[in-house]
């Protein structure tokens, strides 16, 4: 969004900053700095006042320093020569007696992105690693990672890496975790930080000192460690036992993942872990914070893929409450579908039935499709419920029910009779393409059992000229031709009119081609057409054997607690498809997309 | 980890923007606004993916907080971090609203600097942060204050600093419980659970060790092995707690072995434990709904609420909230 008057804003700010009176009054000066930052946040380019900001950094007030450094970190790449002037102050601050100032200066210096900064920051960072205040050490460690990013593809400094490895034994827990993170980034090309036996055991000992973020990350790093013996493996598992019941859901998830991956050769242990984590997961699914609830539900669905009966007895926890947002209700419905069993099917169906009349059309349709998928195992009850829903004569409900029927008839031919009896009641004007297609398909394939099928289809043919969806027209053609095979007398006239329209008047080429195809087929003779179109079907009493193979836990264990269950596998594949091709961000200004508005990737 | 953190108001204007890593561009700010805040349909999910970048967001009243990342991160951790961010901000200036954010602009930037370095969460304990980031700005500190702060920021006990002194040592305990009930339309109780929090306000000097006990079922069973049946007779009421989680300061090892909660409390107000019970719940109210259809255009709903408390107890400010009625589109 173009900001008019950007130049005026900059000029005004420059005047305000250079004002002698403002400089004398600390609070007033700070307000001016605030205005600069505010403009920066809004997207105005205020890099013009860099000079004045550099002068402002020479102050004893820490808050003022922070504001100036924040500004400089954002704009240093635009004005590298001026930024060099600030380096002096920054270097001086790195030796300030106050550890807070030292830490702040070090952090800001490492975040300045400009060519040639490496030579200035190398020494302060190395000093910082040995600083006696742990606050400074924390900043210095991450500073190493930032430094490495600036250097891009150059060789990794072995001395630095060794120093970081030795800092893993630091007494401050946050320094330890920062070391792991920094090493991971620096050694990215070599596969990240190496967790060998002494390091792994050291980390396990320090787990109790770490805060929730640290524990989460260490548990993720421990995934790399391969215990040498079964005894060691079980020792580790018992040491980390407490993390499964931690108060922080992210630690619980990280611990679960670690256990599942470590115990990949012991399916018993894996099942045991999943049983023990049931409680915390259920607690997360019913927590007040919706986002955590959502993340937990995604993971529950993943577990149900392998252990369908796992949460069956707790099905009530997955009933939707009125005020929940849409995305949680959708997830809960899918979970309910998967945990249905003989004992709870009645209750679950009752509950889903009440969602079918929800105000939100999407939710109602979702509930109907859920009942449709449960119908594959519990056909009679579900068909009964769905037929009853037709009686409501609500457009979106009818449409969803008919679609559910279509899918069901395909998989469970034994319910065809019941479905066909219900069909005559849903001819009323359905507006959406999906519903119409489903209805027409059903009438075409099972039309001989539905007495007024030809007349319903005739209705559609009458209005084919005003039909907007080509898919519906295609379906109509196919269905009529099929029905014609079984009830020629009734359908001949209608079919003729439809074919005439499709060939002579239809503008969509696909539909026209299909019409031509059927016309020529019929020209070859009815017997010939029948042979082509009505090939023998399989015995309806056999039903369909669906691939119900449960996915073994090991298939998804490594994706637990990442974004994969949240997005769903298909979506994630799309997201990561181009990751490998993206150039590594070297960090030099011409390549860095951080500069406002230049060369950033386009967002769809 | 987290590449950037943005805070917007309800109109989609950026209030705070902080980018931590190179791979997030300025466009990310606008992308979120266009695709999520101003999206025409209902917000689909708290995690959105736009151009291979993941946007996690949390909404507090009218304010949107968004965390952006391009890496494959742990969703639960990002959300927990956003909640922690909100908690810290609330601890400093109360309700999270546009006005409060605009007034405490500097403070929030300082906090963002401190809590997230290079996108990785650092020390986020409110108590520790409050000692060196104050709303009045940092006054020049004496040497002792400096060493005190650094020792707390880096000390073994991160949640309490040494040398706290009060004239009167006081301790307040609040137990806040909420009963959640799910009922079928016929009035049958489908599921009920109680979720409770024990909140403690401690104004104690030094580094006091406190012990906290509950009449947990397991304790009573341990005391009298084999007399589990007699608990009813002896009149001791025991409760079965399904699961409980504690504040970081509680020593869990002692809890497992002796079922005693011992801890050194942080100064001020904090949540000691959170627990959930699903058995033996005595519901405070009975809700009896009666729905009657009068003709095709009228619906009569009668809801009777009976209290299960003793008649001698009086209550004030009881609020009964009913979700607004909706009607299916009738022909």
Q: Which ipTM did the prediction report? A: 0.77
pLDDT at A589: 27
A503, pLDDT greater than 60: yes
Select the residue of B46, B154, B242 nearest A134 (Cβ to Cβ): B154
Q: Which residues of B touch A285 (CB under 8 A)?
A: none
Q: Which residues of A touch B60 (CB under 8 A)?
A: none
CB atoms closer than 10 angstroms to residue A485: 16
In this prediction, residues A524-546 reach a mean pLDDT of 69
- Could you tell me the pLDDT band of residue A597, with boundaries at 50, 70 and 90? very low
pLDDT at B325: 56
Count of CB contacts below 8 A, A vs B?
220
Chain A: nearest CA to B50, how far in angstroms?
7
B91, pLDDT greater than 60: yes
Closest CA to A126 of A117, A137, A115: A137
- The string of pLDDT tens digits covering residues A257-281 is 888 888 888 888 888 888 888 888 8
A182 within domain boundaries: no
- The string of pLDDT tens digits covering residues B319-331 is 877 766 554 443 3
Least confident span in A145-159, A417-431, B132-146, B199-213: B132-146
Structure tokens at A513: 């081609």
- The string of pLDDT tens digits covering residues A43-85 is 777 777 887 887 777 777 777 888 888 888 777 777 777 777 7
- The string of pLDDT tens digits covering residues A119-148 is 888 888 888 888 888 888 888 988 888 888
Compute CA distances A225 → A231, A234, A551, whole Å.
Answer: 15, 14, 25
B139, pLDDT greater than 50: no
- Using CB atoms and an 8 Å cut-off, which of residues 205-234 of chain B contact chain A? none
Contact B27 A37 (CB under 8 A): no
B248, pLDDT greater than 60: yes
Closest CA to B194 of B261, B262, B240: B240
A544, pLDDT greater than 60: no
Select the residue of A135, A283, A604 nearest B153 (Cβ to Cβ): A135
Chain B: nearest CA to A595, how far in angstroms?
7
- The string of pLDDT tens digits covering residues B251-285 is 776 666 777 778 888 888 888 888 888 877 778 88
Select the residue of A30, A135, A567 nearest B150 (Cβ to Cβ): A135
Q: What is the mean pLDDT of chain A?
A: 79
Q: Which residues of A touch B192 (CB under 8 A)?
A: none
Least confident span in A309-318, A476-485, B102-111, B255-264: B255-264
CA distance A226 to A203: 14
pLDDT at A132: 86
Q: Which residues of B touch A128 (CB under 8 A)?
A: none
- With CA atoms as reference, the chain B residue closest to A60 would be B140
Under a CB-based contact definition with an 8 Å cutoff, are residues A507 and A470 in contact?
A: no
In this prediction, residues A282-295 reach a mean pLDDT of 81
Q: Which residues of A touch B14 (CB under 8 A)?
A: 41-43
Contact A99 B31 (CB under 8 A): no
Under a CB-based contact definition with an 8 Å cutoff, are residues A509 and A496 in contact?
A: no
Select the residue of B26, B77, B113 nearest A596 (Cβ to Cβ): B26
Q: What is the phi/psi pair of residue B302, to 5°?
A: -120, 125
CB atoms closer than 10 angstroms to residue B243: 15
A538, pLDDT greater than 80: no
Contact A60 B140 (CB under 8 A): yes
B234, pLDDT greater than 70: no
What percentage of chain A has pLDDT greater than the value 70?
89
pLDDT at A539: 61
pLDDT at A427: 67
pLDDT at B190: 78
A568 within domain boundaries: no
Least confident span in B16-20, B186-190, B238-242, B266-270: B238-242
pLDDT at B330: 39
A569 within domain boundaries: no
Structure tokens at B203: 């104004």
pLDDT at B12: 83
Contact B25 A107 (CB under 8 A): no
Containing domain of residue A525, as a range? 432-549
Structure tokens at A299: 């993971």
Contact B23 A357 (CB under 8 A): no
pLDDT at A531: 80
Under a CB-based contact definition with an 8 Å cutoff, are residues A174 and A139 in contact?
A: no
- The string of pLDDT tens digits covering residues B9-37 is 888 888 888 888 877 777 888 888 888 77
Contact B47 A60 (CB under 8 A): no
Mutate to test the interface with B, among A41, A242, A287 (most CBs of B within 10 A): A41
Select the residue of A350, A578, A593 nearest B22 (Cβ to Cβ): A593
Closest CA to B76 of A5, A33, A296: A296
Contact B122 A326 (CB under 8 A): no
- Could you tell me the pLDDT band of residue B150, with boundaries at 50, 70 and 90? low
CA distance A110 to A89: 14
CB atoms closer than 10 angstroms to residue B139: 10
* Counts of helices then strands in chain B (DSSP H, E): 9, 15
Query: DSSP state, B265?
Result: P
B111, pLDDT greater than 80: yes
- With CA atoms as reference, the chain B residue closest to A583 would be B23
Q: pLDDT: is A479 or A24 the higher one?
A: A479
pLDDT at A588: 24
Residue A99 exposure: Cα atoms within 13 Å on the Cβ side: 25
Chain B: nearest CA to A20, how far in angstroms?
22
- With CA atoms as reference, the chain B residue closest to A291 would be B46
Q: Which residues of A touch B245 (CB under 8 A)?
A: 245-247
pLDDT at A194: 82
Q: What is the mean pLDDT of chain B?
A: 76
In this prediction, residues A149-171 reach a mean pLDDT of 81
A506 within domain boundaries: yes
A392, pLDDT greater than 70: yes
- With CA atoms as reference, the chain A residue closest to B52 would be A575
Chain-centre distance for alpha carbon B279 = 24
pLDDT at B268: 83
- Could you tell me the pLDDT band of residue A581, with boundaries at 50, 70 and 90? very low
Contact A563 B46 (CB under 8 A): no
Chain-centre distance for alpha carbon A387 = 36
Mutate to test the interface with A, among B13, B31, B46 (most CBs of A within 10 A): B46
A415, pLDDT greater than 70: yes
A502 within domain boundaries: yes
Residues β-bridged to residue B53: B50
Chain-centre distance for alpha carbon A566 = 4
In this prediction, residues A351-357 reach a mean pLDDT of 85
Q: CB within 8 A of B227, min separation 6: which ones?
A: none
- Using CB atoms and an 8 Å cut-off, which of residues 93-152 of chain B contact chain A? 105-106, 109-110, 113, 117-118, 120-125, 132, 137-138, 140-141, 146, 149-150
Q: Which residues of B touch A174 (CB under 8 A)?
A: 122-123
Compute CA distances A164 → A150, A151, A278, whole Å.
Answer: 18, 18, 38
Q: Which residues of A touch B117 (CB under 8 A)?
A: 107, 138-139, 142, 178
A385 within domain boundaries: no
Contact B17 A41 (CB under 8 A): yes
- As for how many domains chain A has, the answer is 1
A359 within domain boundaries: no
- The string of pLDDT tens digits covering residues B158-167 is 677 777 888 8
Chain B: nearest CA to A415, how far in angstroms?
30
pLDDT at A301: 83
Select the residue of A354, A585, A595 nearest B23 (Cβ to Cβ): A585
Biggest CA–CA distance in chain A, Å, is 102
Mutate to test the interface with A, among B27, B53, B154 (most CBs of A within 10 A): B154
Mutate to test the interface with A, among B75, B128, B242, B252 (most CBs of A within 10 A): B75
A398 within domain boundaries: no
- The string of pLDDT tens digits covering residues A212-236 is 888 888 888 888 888 888 888 888 8
């Amino acid at each position: 969004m173009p900001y008019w008057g950007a130049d005026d804003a900059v000029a005004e700010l420059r005047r305000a900053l250079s004002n002698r009176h403002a400089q004398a009054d600390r609070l007033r000066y700070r307000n001016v700095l605030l205005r600069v930052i505010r403009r920066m946040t809004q997207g105005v380019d205020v890099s013009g006042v860099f000079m004045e900001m550099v002068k402002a950094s020479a102050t004893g007030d820490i808050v003022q320093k922070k504001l100036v450094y924040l500004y400089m970190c954002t704009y240093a790449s635009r004005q590298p020569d001026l930024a060099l002037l600030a380096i002096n102050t920054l270097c001086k601050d790195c030796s300030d007696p106050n550890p807070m100032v030292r830490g702040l200066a070090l952090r800001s210096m490492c975040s300045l992105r400009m060519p040639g900064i490496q030579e200035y920051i190398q020494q302060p960072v190395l000093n910082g690693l040995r600083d006696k205040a742990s606050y400074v050490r924390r900043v210095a460690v991450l500073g190493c990672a930032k430094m490495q990013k600036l250097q891009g593809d150059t060789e990794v400094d072995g001395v630095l890496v060794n120093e970081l490895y030795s800092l893993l034994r630091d007494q401050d827990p946050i320094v330890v975790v920062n070391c792991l993170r920094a090493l991971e980034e620096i050694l990215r090309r070599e596969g990240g930080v190496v967790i060998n036996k002494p390091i792994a055991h050291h980390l396990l000992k320090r787990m109790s000192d770490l805060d929730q973020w640290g524990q989460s990350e260490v548990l993720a790093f421990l995934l790399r460690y391969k215990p040498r013996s079964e005894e060691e493996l079980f020792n580790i598992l018992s040491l980390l036992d407490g993390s499964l019941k931690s108060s922080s859901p992210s630690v619980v998830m990280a611990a679960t993942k670690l256990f599942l991956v470590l115990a990949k050769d012991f399916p018993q242990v894996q099942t045991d872990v999943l049983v023990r984590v049931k409680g915390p997961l259920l607690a997360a699914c019913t927590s007040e914070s919706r986002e955590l609830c959502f993340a937990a539900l995604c993971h529950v669905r993943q577990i149900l893929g392998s252990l369908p009966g796992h949460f069956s007895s707790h099905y009530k926890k997955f009933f939707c409450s009125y005020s929940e947002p849409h995305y949680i209700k959708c997830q809960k419905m899918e979970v309910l579908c998967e945990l249905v069993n003989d004992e709870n099917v009645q209750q679950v169906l009752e509950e889903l039935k009440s969602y079918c009349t929800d105000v939100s059309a999407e939710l109602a349709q979702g509930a109907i499709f859920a009942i449709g998928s449960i119908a594959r195992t519990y056909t009679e009850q579900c068909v009964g419920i769905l037929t009853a829903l037709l009686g409501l004569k609500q457009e979106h409900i009818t449409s969803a029910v008919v679609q559910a029927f279509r899918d069901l008839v395909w998989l469970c031919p034994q319910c065809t009779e019941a479905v066909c009896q219900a069909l005559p009641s849903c001819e009323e004007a359905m507006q959406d393409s999906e519903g119409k297609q489903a209805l027409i398909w059903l009438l075409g394939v099972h039309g001989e059992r539905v007495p007024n099928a030809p007349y319903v289809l005739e209705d559609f043919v009458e209005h084919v000229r005003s039909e907007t969806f080509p898919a519906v027209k295609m379906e109509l053609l196919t269905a009529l031709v099929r029905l014609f095979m079984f009830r020629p007398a009734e359908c001949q006239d209608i079919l003729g009119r439809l074919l005439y329209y499709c060939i002579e008047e239809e503008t969509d080429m696909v539909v026209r081609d299909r019409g031509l195809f059927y016309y020529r087929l019929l020209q070859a003779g009815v017997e010939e057409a029948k042979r082509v179109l009505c090939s023998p079907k399989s015995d309806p009493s056999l039903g369909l054997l669906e691939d119900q193979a449960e996915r073994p836990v090991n298939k998804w264990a490594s994706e637990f607690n990442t974004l994969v269950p949240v997005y769903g596998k298909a979506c994630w594949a799309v997201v990561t498809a181009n990751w490998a091709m993206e150039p590594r961000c070297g960090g030099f200004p011409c390549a860095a997309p951080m500069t406002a508005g230049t060369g950033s990737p386009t967002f769809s | 980890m987290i590449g950037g953190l943005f805070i917007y108001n309800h109109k989609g204007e950026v209030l705070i923007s902080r980018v931590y890593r190179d791979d997030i561009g300025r466009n990310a700010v606008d992308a979120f606004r266009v695709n999520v805040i101003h999206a025409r349909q209902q917000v689909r999910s708290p995690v959105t993916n736009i151009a291979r970048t993941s946007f996690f967001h949390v909404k507090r009243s009218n304010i949107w907080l968004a965390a952006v990342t391009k890496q494959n991160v742990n969703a639960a951790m990002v959300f927990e971090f956003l909640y922690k961010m909100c908690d810290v901000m609330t601890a400093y200036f109360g309700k999270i609203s546009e006005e409060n954010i605009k007034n405490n602009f500097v403070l929030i930037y300082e906090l963002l600097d401190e809590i997230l370095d290079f996108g990785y969460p650092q020390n986020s304990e409110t108590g520790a942060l409050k000692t060196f980031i104050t709303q009045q700005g940092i006054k020049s500190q004496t040497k002792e204050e400096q060493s005190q702060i650094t020792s707390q920021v880096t000390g073994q006990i991160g949640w309490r600093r040494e040398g706290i002194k009060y004239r009167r040592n006081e301790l307040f305990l609040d137990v806040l419980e909420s009963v959640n009930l799910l009922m079928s339309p016929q009035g049958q109780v489908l599921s009920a659970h109680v979720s409770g929090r024990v909140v403690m306000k401690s104004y104690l000097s030094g580094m006091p060790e406190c012990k906290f006990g509950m009449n947990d079922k397991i304790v009573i069973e341990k005391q009298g092995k084999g007399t589990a049946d007699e608990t009813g007779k002896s009149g001791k009421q025991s409760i079965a707690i399904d699961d409980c989680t504690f504040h970081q300061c509680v020593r869990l090892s002692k809890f497992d072995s002796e079922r005693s909660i011992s801890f050194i409390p942080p100064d001020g107000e904090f949540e000691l434990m959170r627990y959930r019970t699903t058995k033996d719940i005595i519901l405070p109210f009975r809700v009896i709904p009666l729905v009657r259809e009068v003709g095709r255009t009228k619906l009569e709903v009668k809801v009777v609420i009976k209290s299960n408390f003793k008649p001698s107890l009086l209550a004030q400010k009881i609020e009964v909230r009913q979700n607004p009625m909706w009607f299916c589109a009738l022909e």
